Structure 1
Amino acid sequence: MCTAASFNSKSHYFGRNLDLEFSYNETVVITPRNYTLPFRKEENIDTHYAIIGMAFVVENYPLYYDATNEKGLSMAGLNFPEAKYYEINKENDNITPFEFIPWILGQAENIKEAKKLIENINLVNINFSEQLPLSPLHWMISDKNESIVIECMEDGMKIYDNPLGVMTNSPSFDKQLFNLNNYRHLSRKTPDNTFSEKIELDTYSRGMGAIGLPGDLSSMSRFVKVAFTHENVLENDDEIKSVNQFFHILESVYQQKGCCEVAPGKYEYTIYSSCVNTDKGIYYYKTYDNSSINAVKMHNYDLESNELAVYPLIEEQEINFQN
């Protein structure tokens, strides 16, 4: 399970939590403009927008989990068990789900251009390899002005406008939005007593406006909690404070090892959290064992190159002793 968010503060920021019970040894990867993007059923793209994101590199191919291109368009794939992929249709662009992120980010500058590409896409049921079958996913795509969600269902591909700029997992995005109706009473402010005029009820604690906000790890509860946090946190005019605030949004739905058992002795947890300044192409990240913020700058690499740049994650925590 996972959580993604898009947030405007000093700049535009995009990122996600990756929640799984195991890691693929993912790395931060820059795909420069002249790295050839191969596609199984469509022509290769030799020149495209540069991309930075978190990926599992296999056979020199970046399997992106989340990424941002040099124009500021961002995209993340999250687990979605209801996903249905399709057979080849010669009338469409037949793109496999693991090619979806580079197909969009390599060519689209913003959501408007992404929608035009998506209108002709057929996400086909082709595995990367026998050892790496497709994962059931849905995707959030964002620029600084808007976000959309893409879901492939039994009855076809759905494109949802995402007014909140957050996403988790199941159920489908339209049902997640509808579920927020059950929490319309939540507030950052202290609530009035509407229980009864006959009894005086005490405000015995701060934060009582958020009583009823879910705190469990299920995807629907995480959607409510991250949406409430996202809509109520304060914006900042400082880069470091903005990045910290974005990570605090994601931290509201962190998963700790031991709290979500998915198989005997196996526990889902937040493997990494990311935050990209999409205006500057800076990819910030934290890992479960290293809460320090680390960063890779896209524009510090030769974006005219034809070779991937791969940066292993810094997993070891550093402690800043003050005495």
Structure 2
Amino acid sequence: MCTSIAYSDRGLYGRNLDLDTPFGEQVVITPRDFPFTFHHLPPMPHHPALTGMATVAHNTPLYAEAANEHGLYMAGLYFPGNAHYFDAPDPAACNVAPFELIPLVLGRCKTLAQARELLATVRLVAEPFAPGFPLAPLHWHIADATGALVAEPMADGLHLYEDPAGVLTNNPPFPWHQTNLHNYRGLSTAAPANSLAPALELPLCGQGFGALGLPGDASPVSRYLRAVFTKAHAVFGPDRDCGIVQFFHVLDAVAMVRGTVTTDQGGCDETRYSSCIDAQTGTYYYKTYDSGSLHAVTMDEAARQGSDLRVYPLQARPLFHQDAPVA
């Protein structure tokens, strides 16, 4: 389970990754000359540099989410029971294994418009990365400064949807989430008027009653609604650093606390990490569940050059700043 958020107007993109077990995740910068290979497509020896969260297997970055140096963002989110991959390639299509999709799109495209054009030709083929790497049922969130897009692989092909809210969670399919928003159009940050019985004196006993009815559970439907509401109303000031912190506060509104969501296998789903990619600086910010502190990895010009992956293990332990007394 996951939540992805795109503030296209601010050039900030990121997600919560909710899972009950680690998957070897690390921050990985893929430089321009790292050679990407594909099952059914020619290799890609040169491409824009990428930064994001990935597990590295056989010297290959398997990205959960990433952005390229042109500010195009893409994240894969869990989509079980609906995601469909085809058993065989189609000679008339652009045949891609699911784990190849992020490198393909971010490697070929500079803009959301280009990504939309490429994705319209894609056929996702059921080919795992390697033995022992099961196919993850996914759909994808893609965004840049112009807006956001959702790509969902269904039995009749890859569906592309415009995403005006800039939010994606998990099931059901994206059009259902859009329709469900209509049921909550009356939510507000302001105190509600007494329309129940105007003649009665019904004082409020606190703040926040304008959003009464906004669901607070961790289901994909509830997280989608809560993320849309929080994203739409979160106030950002002019300070860029404070804006990064505010982005994480928005993600915190839909984060999973360890122990509050248990899996069928008895594990605990939790927000293993939260991330924010600043497209203006090429900086990947993250915090892990147990660290809590914000960490930053910047994809500077030196990191964008060459052919060797740059891998940054996550800071997973608490870091406490010890204040000194005032003299």
Name the TM-score class by shorter chain. over 0.9
- 2:245 matched residue in structure 1: 244
2:208 maps to which residue?
207
User: Does structure 2 retain, via aligned residues, the 8 Å contact 1:27–1:310?
Assistant: yes
Give the equivalent residue in structure 2 for 1:128.
129
Q: Which residue of 1 aligns with 2:76?
A: 77
* 2:142 alignment partner in structure 1: 141
Shift of 1:235: 1.9
Can you list the C-alpha shifts for 1:5-57, whole angstroms capped at 9, x where unaligned? 01156x41000000000001210001111000010111100111110000010
Aligned-pair identity in percent equals 40
Match of 2:5 in 1: 5
Partner of 1:196: 197
Could you say which residue in structure 2 is the equivalent of 1:150?
151
Aligned to 1:39: 38
- Cα separation, partners in 2 of 1:311 and 1:196, compared to 1, 3 Å: same
Q: Which amino acid aligns with 1:295?
A: A
State the TM-score, normalizing by the size of structure 1.
0.97
TM-fit CA distance, 1:3: 0.2
- Trace 1:157-196 onto structure 2 (pairs within 5 A): 157-196=158-197
Shift of 1:301: 3.5
Tell me if structure 1 keeps the 8 A contact 2:8–2:143.
no
Aligned to 2:294, what secondary structure does the other structure show? strand
Task: Give the RMSD, CA atoms, in angstroms.
Answer: 1.1
Higher alpha-carbon deviation: 298-307 or 70-79: 298-307
- Pairing of 1:272-287 with structure 2 (within 5 A): 272-287=273-288
Distance 1:251 1:308 in 2: 30
Instruction: Find the aligned partners of 1:316 and 1:22 in 2 and give their Cα distance.
Output: 16
Q: Distance in 2 between matches of 1:16 and 1:275?
A: 7
Q: Output the amino acid matched with 2:233.
A: N
Residues 122 and 158 of structure 2 are in contact (CA less than 8 Å); yes or no, is this contact kept in structure 1? no
Measured after TM superposition, the shift of residue 300 of structure 1 is: 5.3
How big is the shift at 1:72? 0.1
In the other structure, the counterpart of 1:30 is 29
Q: Write the letter of the residue equivalent to 1:242.
A: G
Q: Which moved more, 1:197-206 or 1:166-175?
A: 197-206
CA distance in 1, matches of 2:237, 2:76: 28
Deviations 1:243-282 (A, max 9, x none): 0110011000110111111035411000000000012100
Greater displacement, 144-153 / 234-243: 234-243
SS at match of 1:142: strand
SS in 2 for 1:292: coil
Q: Which runs of 4+ in 1 moved over 6 A?
A: none
Q: Is the 8 A contact 1:8 1:235 kept in 2?
A: no
Tell me by how many angstroms 1:236 deviates: 2.1
Partner of 1:62: 61
Moved more, 106-115 or 301-310: 301-310
Displacement of 1:322? 1.8
Instruction: Find the residue that maps to 1:113 and give its secondary structure.
Output: helix
Query: AA paired with 1:236?
Result: G
Q: What secondary structure, in the 3-state scheme, does the structure 2 residue paired with 1:176 have?
A: helix
Q: Structure 1 counterpart of 2:260, which letter?
A: C
For this pair of structures, how many residues does the alignment match?
Answer: 322
How far apart are the structure 2 equivalents of 1:313 and 1:48? Answer: 26
The 2-side partners of 1:128 and 1:264 are apart by 25
Is the 1:275–1:283 contact (alpha carbons within 8 Å) kept by the matching residues of 2? Answer: yes
Could you tell me whether the CA contact under 8 Å between 1:71 and 1:279 is conserved in 2?
no
Contact 2:188 2:210 in 1 (8 A): yes
Q: Which runs of 5+ in 2 are unaligned?
A: none
The alignment partner of 2:317 has SS state of coil
CA offsets, 1:197-216, max 9 Å, x none? 34221121111101111100
Amino acid of the residue matched to residue 5 of structure 2? A
- Please state how far the C-alpha of 1:321 moved relative to its aligned partner: 1.9
Equivalent residue number for residue 48 of structure 1 = 47
Specify the code of the residue in structure 2 equivalent to 1:25: G
Q: 1:298-317 counterparts in 2 under 5 A?
A: 298-299=299-300, 301-317=302-318
